Amino acid sequence: MHIEIDTGVCIGAGQCALTAPEVFTQDDDGFSQLLPGREDGRGGALVREAARACPVSAISVRQA
């Protein structure tokens, strides 16, 4: 699984960090980012749910 965050689209709603806090966090400006070492998408179902929860669809998840 590969996770990508479109930082140009992210509005910092934080739904990803609330849904999958072991994979996502927010930077100093409040925008979404992956936690170090989590780029491979460990967390499966919660990662997909976090992508669905994003109000602007800034997160894409695809099989690697």
pLDDT values of the chain reduced to their tens digit, one per residue, 64 residues: 889 999 999 999 999 999 999 999 999 999 999 998 887 766 688 999 999 999 999 999 988 7
This prediction's pTM: 0.87
Cβ-proximal residues to 35 (8 Å cutoff; 6+ apart), any chain: 22, 23, 24, 25
Predicted local confidence at residue 41, as pLDDT: 62
Cβ-proximal residues to 21 (8 Å cutoff; 6+ apart), any chain: none
Residues in the chain: 64
